[in-house]
Structure 1
Amino acid sequence: MSGNGKKRSPLVAERRYPANATAKKKPAPKKKPKPAPRRKAAPKKRAKPTGLLGWIFLPIRWTIRIMWAFAWRVSLVTGLIIAGFSLYFASQMPPVDELLDGRARGSVTMTDLRGDIFAWRGDQFGGKITTETVSPHLRNAVIASEDKRFYRHFGISPRGIASAVRINLRAGRGPLSGNGGSTLTQQTAKLLCLGVPFDPSQWEDEAAYENDCRQGSLWRKAREAVYAVGMEIAYTKDEILTIYLNRAYLGAGARGFEAAAQRYFSSSAAELNPQQAAMMSGLLPAPSRYAPTRNLQRAQDRAATVLRLMEEQGYLTAAEAAEAQANPATLSATARANTATFFADWVMRSTPAFLTSETTEDVMIRTTLDKDIQAAAEEAMLSVFENQVREGSEAQAAIVVMSADGAVRAMVGGRNLGETGAFNRATQAQRQTGSSFKPFIYATALDLGMSPYAMIDDAPICWSRRGSADWCPSNYDREFVGPVSLIDALKASRNIPAIVLSEDVGRELVRNVATGFGIDSDLAAGPALALGVSESNLLEMTGAYAGILNGGSAVVPYGLTDLRFQGDTESLVDTTGTGIGERIIQERAARELTWMMTKVVEEGTGRRARIDGWQIAGKSGTTNSSRDAWFIGFTGDYVTGVWMGYDDNSPLTGVTGGGLPATIWHETMVRVLEGKTPTPLPMSIPEQPATAGVLQSDGGVIADGEILNLLSTILSDAAAQN
């Protein structure tokens, strides 16, 4: 180790920087360069079509672009227009309560003599209901069958419309024909006629107005959709459904579900079970077709479909649906009977139209109908035609039952029971009366003082007729029996004695008596008057016989005892409670005639009408060629008339008044009188005179004694007046 003793600076590495270099400074931050100005992107050049296919599809692409541009603009404008009109309609909507009863005419409810309802006419409205007051089953049934998305759409359902169009096209119909895809809101809009009220001065009737409301044109559908959206803006869903439940037509004149529930089930809409609710909801597509009063099985089948929909949509459990399917809804006893349609129609026609068919109010009518007697008459007719008339026969019959004062208790106008508005053969058929007219001839004679024991010569006789051959009538059996008493002549319904008697007492007097008793038809002017060649109807004839029963006073048949507006206590008609009018013949004469007519039933042509234990008076009648057959008879309480014949006036085969008509009379009255105590007839048995004489066709009388001499004088005077 060497050293010089001098201190040396330590060895260091060679310095990288000069000795005089200053301390290292931090570099200043670099400034960010300014971004270069962004150049505008050059517009994309539309791809030029390449190849043959590109050139082929170029027009299609252009067409689609143009259509889309046009479509969304049109849609926007259309949407704004719809929104504008919808808002306008919404602003015009009245309060819900004003829309619930929209009937242009009122209803007529008829009750029988006990106050029980038996018939409805007009537009029935049972009262206002809401979605909260009706049975939940009813609300669910309507939603399930008519519009399952009701609470989710805004008034129209594009999905529903598309589905309806598809169904229509598959069925071979036009896209708007048949299924319409309407929502419940749209259906309600249609029920409201899009807010257009009924104007009697503009429309011929309400039916024409409603037909216009149901138009299915494209323009009408568009207006309906706009109005429906307006309803959705103005009302809640429950309010719209409430309007629908009150205004929907459900057949049989029922407007609204409350009226329909009362009509079909005699129940309130709040008490309907699932099967009843399903049946009523099932009526909505076609009320007349599905009405249970028209075809119960068809209504039940439709209800089964609604029940399946209710189960599928969760409104019924499987167990509830199965129970409802196993126990389908049936009509109430009142609706099932559908009784006395002919009687109800007659009351409607015989009462002023402004209180019945043209009423704008709800009217209550109390009638004289006895439902038990009505049922007896209907059962009797059906029984006789089923068991004693050949199958396929088109013969018809009519029955009227009334009290002695003219109160009609039952009326059957034909075999088509239950058909509303049908031709009523009891009141509308004018038919020749035949021998049923003869009691009025005998009533005239008895009123003049002739004895029932007086004799008439049943012998051939002729009347001359100007311009034609002589008229030479005969009896039904083509025989002549010589002198016969009035009693026996009436009992056997002999023609010659009736004609001779009519001629001798005077045809004019006979016509006056018949007219007085209520036969309003024009009566024949010649001697054939006595044979019943004049026409009348069954109601008139039965009322005329009631005049005999009540002692000789005229009777006006009536069926109405009280009429008032629903809810009022004051009657609108002045009813006396009786149809008895002025006296036509003396009471003595009426009582003697009644006794003579009992012989017809006991011993003569009316024997089939006999009922053990009861006094019955009556008279049969058969016209020329058996075109009409009658039997009219009475007990102490009721007068019953029966007519039988063909509507086209064809002859009956083997039928006389004492045959099937008397049988129908018997079957009716057996049912009416069952369980009742026999009532004696008001009749008098005259004393038989000590001497007798014979009234001859020339008006002469071969008599022994003062009684017959007096009778001859009376008859001669009457003939001279004629």
Structure 2
Amino acid sequence: MAEKKSGSRKRLTADRRTPPSPSPRKRKATLQKPAPKRFSRLRAALWRAFLLPFRMIWAMAWRLGLVIFLLVGLGVAYFAANLPEVSALVDGRAKGSVTLMDRNGAVFAWRGDQFGGIVTAQTVSPFLKNAVVATEDRRFYRHFGLSPRGVASAVRINLRAGRGPLSGNGGSTITQQTAKLICLGVNYDPDLWKSERNYERECRRSTLWRKIKEATFALAMEVKFSKDEILTIYLNRTFLGAGARGFEAAAQRYFGKSATQVNAAEAAMMAGLLKAPSRLAPTDNLAGAQARAAIVIDLMQQENYLSKAEATSSIAQPATLTAAATDRAGGYFADWVMASGPEFFTRNTTEDVLINTTLDQNIQTATEQAVRSIFDDKIDESSKAQVAVVVMSADGAVRAMIGGRNTRTTGAFNRATQAKRQTGSAFKPFVYATALELGYTPFDIVRDEPITYNIAGSGAWSPTNYNNQFAGDVAFTRALAESLNIPAIKISEHVGRDLVRKVATDFGIANELAAGPALALGASESTLIEMTGAYAGILNGGSSVRPYGLEQIKLLGDTEPLAGRAGGIGERVIDTKAAQALTYMMYEVVQSGTGQRAKIEGVEIAGKTGTTQAARDAWFIGFTSEFVVGVWMGYDDNTPLKGVTGGGIPTDIWRETMIAITNQSAPGPLPMLRGPVQISKQLEPIEPAVKTKSGATIFDTLFGILTGKN
């Protein structure tokens, strides 16, 4: 057929046609079509590469966390197993303390870190318990020993203040603070630490490792102890300034009461000390302690421990200190008692010791006021002149002591007991005591005239009187009253210097005495307490006296004393009649001689002034029937005093002190010679001492007979 050709085939493909343009909606759908598989695989690979470090970190973190959890658990278990009982942790002091009480049993001073005894979270005043919790750790009873919120807050505060994250605020809970107080269970070892201070400094170090260890130990404490047991340890171990360890010691020291009895204001003040115990200690900074207490009271109100009325009242009537706390640590007297007492029970005690002393706080206060009054009225403010005062009973019991112008100091140089100074004419009574013991009387005569002594190695020595005049024939009484030098030297040389030295030494002058004729003029040195004790020997009738301040020592809680007084009246030195005659002569010193400024209306007083060469030292020591008071004045560097003699300002201080004392007592008549006395001897002219065949002077022999030694 014409239409078909042989072998031809039909086309299998469609005609080429131009496809229609897609609509906008279809075009958009085309753009959102999934990418080719090769792009998906690439994206997945990149995602896996990105997640790999996080997966590795997470894998390491949970494994490390598990290890840390196990290590902390082991640490907690170890610490908890080795923690002792609560009773063994409340007092961690290596040394004991000393509490000093006055003659009436009132506490006036402390030495060493004081531990007042155990108080518990149940027995302590509720005000105190609440004040501590509100101030230091208000979530104490709700957390497990650590406070992440508190730590975070502390780190934020430290960083804002420009400090390191662990410097300054620590955010520590009471449990963590308690762990630090017991040094994470490490006890003090003197072989490892030079002192307790170094030990405590090590315990307070704030390194990252120590913080971790502290947190672990705190968790162990929470496992081992109850909350109240932890708080009990804290209440008894924490330092609260002025040497007080624990709240019981602080309450006794500052307020004179137990921590079980403190009110809200007192509790707030003690809790406030936890922030800075040394800086805020009320004995040094009462205003600062009261200001801090007001903040604590506000915190207690916020925690509903105090009502608004109670808080307002506590702020309006802040806590104040007892007189003992105000007087600080007992000053020079307490230092002297501690230095003179048995070392094992004072300076190096490992026990809590109670010492009853002879101190009379009323007399001490009166003495301090007298010194301040005289110095304010009569001494230039720029003067560096010093003063020392000792008040003593006739038996040597020291009732008051001042060792320098700063009367409220501790550990300072004590001029009453440590300063060795020339005694001047205050030594002359011992010259006359020797003569009276040998049988002379206050009315015997000696000539006051120029005299020269040839002293080996020094040449000629021609002593004079203070006024550079000579009185001629004078009775012993007048010679002493006017403090004439020549008669004293003549009498000393006549009776023998060795006897004078013996009498003075037996009365208690322990320092080495001068060898030459100047012995009679007080060229030797002594301390004020020695001289006052020697005058007490004259008052008590001629027996030696050893001054003492310690009456009794006992341990806290014991009723039987371990030791008693180590001083008092000793052996007889001169006859009672001789002592009474000497007292009469010294009475005339005040009535008509150099000590007239000591007079007190209606009171019999005996005493003696003393002024050394160039007025480097000025003394007045005198007594009534009840008390002996010694006063010394001078410069530490021996600079001469200007316009001051023993009969001047020292006598004024003596009088003001004695007036205050006699206002509290009624001194009777002096034990002195009264009535006519026959003149038995006359020391004019003085002849060389006659030697016996044995080589002793007649006076040596007579002295031996009178004292029963021959």
So what's the TM-score if we normalise by structure 2? 0.86
Q: CA deviation at 1:592?
A: 0.7
Q: CA deviation at 1:515?
A: 0.8
Query: Given the alignment, which residue of 668, 672, 678 partners 1:683?
Result: 672
Q: CA deviation at 1:43?
A: 10
Q: Where does residue 83 of structure 1 map in the other structure?
A: 73
Contact 1:130 1:242 in 2 (8 A): yes
Contact 1:627 1:649 in 2 (8 A): yes
Contact 2:424 2:611 in 1 (8 A): yes
Query: Given the alignment, which residue of 338, 343, 348 partners 2:338?
Result: 348
Alignment CA distance shift 1:157-1:625 (3 Å)? farther
Q: CA deviation at 1:160?
A: 2.9
1:102 aligns with 2:98: no
Alignment CA distance shift 1:197-1:690 (3 Å)? closer
Whole-angstrom CA distance in 2 between matches of 1:625 and 1:268: 55
Q: Where does residue 279 of structure 1 map in the other structure?
A: 269
Q: CA deviation at 1:377?
A: 1.4
The aligned length equals 658
Q: Give the letter for the 1:608 counterpart.
A: R
Query: Given the alignment, which residue of 613, 616, 619 partners 1:630?
Result: 619
Alignment CA distance shift 1:159-1:495 (3 Å)? farther
Contact 2:444 2:679 in 1 (8 A): no
Contact 1:699 1:715 in 2 (8 A): no
Q: Where does residue 115 of structure 2 map in the other structure?
A: 125
Whole-angstrom CA distance in 1 between matches of 2:209 and 2:675: 84
Whole-angstrom CA distance in 2 between matches of 1:141 and 1:494: 70
TM-superposition CA deviations, 1:686-713 (whole Å, max 9, x none): 7455687453577599xxxxxxxxxx96
More displaced stretch, 63-72 vs 220-229: 63-72
Query: Given the alignment, which residue of 598, 602, 609 partners 1:609?
Result: 598
Query: Given the alignment, which residue of 525, 536, 543 partners 2:533?
Result: 543
Contact 2:496 2:699 in 1 (8 A): no
Give 1 or 2 for the bigger CA radius of gyration. Answer: 1
TM-superposition CA deviations, 1:457-489 (whole Å, max 9, x none): 333333345555643332222333333322122
Q: Where does residue 325 of structure 1 map in the other structure?
A: 315
Q: CA deviation at 1:190?
A: 1.4
Alignment CA distance shift 1:152-1:574 (3 Å)? closer
More displaced stretch, 299-308 vs 314-323: 314-323
Q: 1:366 is paired with a residue of what secondary structure?
A: strand
Contact 1:363 1:565 in 2 (8 A): yes
Q: CA deviation at 1:71?
A: 5.1
Whole-angstrom CA distance in 2 between matches of 1:503 and 1:649: 29
Q: Give the letter for the 2:343 counterpart.
A: A
Whole-angstrom CA distance in 2 between matches of 1:47 and 1:313: 57
Q: 1:271 is paired with a residue of what secondary structure?
A: coil
TM-superposition CA deviations, 1:270-294 (whole Å, max 9, x none): 2222211110011112222211122
Q: CA deviation at 1:671?
A: 0.9
Q: CA deviation at 1:115?
A: 2.3
Contact 1:613 1:678 in 2 (8 A): no
Q: Where does residue 249 of structure 2 map in the other structure?
A: 259
Alignment CA distance shift 1:147-1:588 (3 Å)? same
Alignment CA distance shift 1:334-1:601 (3 Å)? same
Q: Where does residue 359 of structure 2 map in the other structure?
A: 369
Alignment CA distance shift 1:135-1:570 (3 Å)? closer
Q: Give the letter for the 1:542 counterpart.
A: T
**Percent identity over paired residues:** 59
Query: Given the alignment, which residue of 479, 493, 500 partners 1:489?
Result: 479
Q: CA deviation at 1:172?
A: 4.1
Whole-angstrom CA distance in 1 between matches of 2:669 and 2:41: 116
TM-superposition CA deviations, 1:23-76 (whole Å, max 9, x none): xxxxxxxxxxxxxxxxxxx997556779xxxxxxx99x9887766665555444
Whole-angstrom CA distance in 1 between matches of 2:147 and 2:43: 41
Whole-angstrom CA distance in 1 between matches of 2:423 and 2:369: 25
Q: Where does residue 431 of structure 1 map in the other structure?
A: 421
Alignment CA distance shift 1:492-1:142 (3 Å)? same
Contact 2:131 2:268 in 1 (8 A): yes
More displaced stretch, 409-418 vs 453-462: 453-462
Alignment CA distance shift 1:44-1:350 (3 Å)? farther
Alignment CA distance shift 1:162-1:594 (3 Å)? same
1:474 aligns with 2:464: yes
Q: Give the letter for the 2:70 counterpart.
A: L
Whole-angstrom CA distance in 2 between matches of 1:544 and 1:409: 16
Q: Give the letter for the 2:496 counterpart.
A: G
More displaced stretch, 270-279 vs 640-649: 640-649
Q: Where does residue 568 of structure 2 map in the other structure?
A: 579
Contact 1:457 1:697 in 2 (8 A): no
Contact 1:461 1:697 in 2 (8 A): no
More displaced stretch, 232-241 vs 673-682: 673-682
Alignment CA distance shift 1:236-1:716 (3 Å)? closer
Query: Given the alignment, which residue of 491, 498, 506 partners 2:488?
Result: 498
Q: CA deviation at 1:580?
A: 0.8
Query: Given the alignment, which residue of 342, 347, 358 partners 1:357?
Result: 347
TM-superposition CA deviations, 1:151-197 (whole Å, max 9, x none): 33332333333333343344444443333332211211111111112
Q: CA deviation at 1:544?
A: 0.5
Query: Given the alignment, which residue of 285, 289, 303 partners 1:299?
Result: 289
Q: Give the letter for the 1:623 counterpart.
A: T
Alignment CA distance shift 1:189-1:675 (3 Å)? closer
Whole-angstrom CA distance in 2 between matches of 1:644 and 1:690: 38
Aligned pairs for 1:551-566 (under 5 A) are: 551-566=541-556
1:513 aligns with 2:503: yes
Q: Give the letter for the 2:462 counterpart.
A: C
Q: 1:156 is paired with a residue of what secondary structure?
A: coil
TM-superposition CA deviations, 1:574-629 (whole Å, max 9, x none): 559x7111111111211111000001111111111111111100011112222221
TM-superposition CA deviations, 1:417-467 (whole Å, max 9, x none): 332323222112222212111111111111112232233333333334555
Contact 1:156 1:182 in 2 (8 A): yes
Alignment CA distance shift 1:409-1:304 (3 Å)? same
Whole-angstrom CA distance in 2 between matches of 1:66 and 1:531: 98
Q: Where does residue 654 of structure 1 map in the other structure?
A: 643
Whole-angstrom CA distance in 1 between matches of 2:40 and 2:458: 115
TM-superposition CA deviations, 1:231-277 (whole Å, max 9, x none): 12211222111110111121222221112112211222222222111
Whole-angstrom CA distance in 2 between matches of 1:74 and 1:697: 106
Alignment CA distance shift 1:683-1:467 (3 Å)? closer
Q: Where does residue 413 of structure 1 map in the other structure?
A: 403
Whole-angstrom CA distance in 1 between matches of 2:244 and 2:166: 28
Alignment CA distance shift 1:313-1:631 (3 Å)? same
Q: Where does residue 558 of structure 2 map in the other structure?
A: 568
Q: Give the letter for the 2:333 counterpart.
A: F
Whole-angstrom CA distance in 2 between matches of 1:303 and 1:688: 72
Alignment CA distance shift 1:523-1:44 (3 Å)? farther
Q: Where does residue 199 of structure 1 map in the other structure?
A: 189
Query: Given the alignment, which residue of 591, 595, 599 partners 2:580?
Result: 591
Q: Where does residue 298 of structure 2 map in the other structure?
A: 308
Whole-angstrom CA distance in 1 between matches of 2:467 and 2:161: 68
Query: Given the alignment, which residue of 625, 630, 634 partners 1:645?
Result: 634
Q: CA deviation at 1:543?
A: 0.5
Aligned residues: CA RMSD: 2.9
Alignment CA distance shift 1:679-1:158 (3 Å)? same
Unaligned runs of 5+ in 1: 1-41, 51-57, 702-711
Whole-angstrom CA distance in 2 between matches of 1:470 and 1:140: 82
Q: 1:649 is paired with a residue of what secondary structure?
A: coil
